Chain A
Amino acid sequence: MSEHIVSPTVYVIIFAILIVMTATTAAVAFVDLGRFNIVVALVIATFKASLVVLFFMHARYIPGRTQLVIIAGVFWLAIMLSLTLVDYKTRRPESEPAPALSSMTTPAGYFAGS
């Protein structure tokens, strides 16, 4: 079988990096970076997840068509998150009154001319 066998040395190095990044993200949480705390936390988490996907899950060594499936999954997740947030983030606050409807919304108003 021509499968690519990843050496234990690589696995242990990746493991060490993951532990260091875990300690880092915990430590950084106690530093006040304002709005960037969440950004740093997510960047570190994404980096850790990428290491697991690429090395522990062998994503570097699988055929391109399977890699495409992984990318597609991430892409669909991105659509779900971004489009839903676009909806919520562009909503009018509840304290604002709704804009007045134009007279064109009833038949009488529609045919009465502008």
Chain B
Amino acid sequence: MHRTGDLFGQYQTLEQQKDSATLGMWLFLVTEVLFFGGMFLTYTINRSTYPIAFAWGSNTLDITLGTVNTAVLILSSLTMAMAVWSAQTDKKRLVTGFLIATLILGCVFLGIKFVEYSQKYEHHLIPGHNFDLSYHTEGPEGAAKLQEAFRQDPGLTAHTQLYVSLYFAMTGLHALHMIVGAGLVFWLILQSMKGRFSRSYNTPVEIIGLYWHFVDIVWIFLYPLLYLIDRHLK
């Protein structure tokens, strides 16, 4: 078992070794950009084809929960960056503390997503047999709006299901990445409690931090594209 901070044979300096790890993680993140990019592309094409349905679908999402979740993830990126700083400045207890905060915030995010998914089920918005748009239209005003929407897009039911399918696929893929990230942060917590990270060796914290920030960035784009379509109309 090598001591932490040791130079592996193929590198000339510790700095080069760390740069190499960072480059490796960025290369992986570039593949992730294209992975999520494919779904953003699908979203773009379908939204431009079915704007009414996408606006309708977007308005069935809870904007408060979505905005809170965005703030939760941004805060978790702050705590993650602070965990890296703590390692760089040899504050080993703070490393564990900030990592635990990051993990808790990640779990809060996933909890809120679970609540949102449950609401979708209760509101008859899971694409398929029980999908029922009229659940969202209380009273004569709501029914009139729904009728107007159907007039503009006769295929509204099918097209809104398309939107909700994309919502589940994109946020589901994102949540899967969050779960993986949570697992990685949990591993970091265990390592940090053994005092493994310091000024001379903090590479795992740094590169798992990069992954975590990337997942935050995906959400930063998902939030306006899914939650904020035509909110000014309804």
Contact = CB atoms under 8 A, between A and B. Distances in A.
Interface in A29-55: 29-33, 37-38, 41-42, 44-45, 48-49, 52-53, 55
A29 B232 contact: yes
Contact of A80 (B29, B30, B37, B214): B37
Interface of B: 14-15, 18-19, 22-23, 26-27, 29-30, 33-34, 37-38, 40-41, 44-45, 48, 63, 67, 70-71, 74-75, 77-78, 80-82, 85, 88-89, 199-200, 206, 209-210, 213-214, 216-217, 220-221, 223-225, 227-233
A30 B26 contact: no
Contact of B34 (A14, A30, A73, A89): A73
B34 A1 contact: no
A74 B33 contact: yes
Majority DSSP secondary structure for residues of B touching A: helix
A3 B34 contact: no
A29 B231 contact: yes
A11 interface: yes
Contacts of B85: 5-8, 11
Contacts of A31: 232
Contacts of B34: 73, 76-77, 80
Interface residues of A, number: 53
B45 A85 contact: yes
Interface of A: 1-3, 5-8, 11-12, 14-15, 18-19, 22-23, 25-26, 29-33, 37-38, 41-42, 44-45, 48-49, 52-53, 55-58, 62-63, 65-66, 69-70, 72-74, 76-77, 80-81, 84-85, 88-89
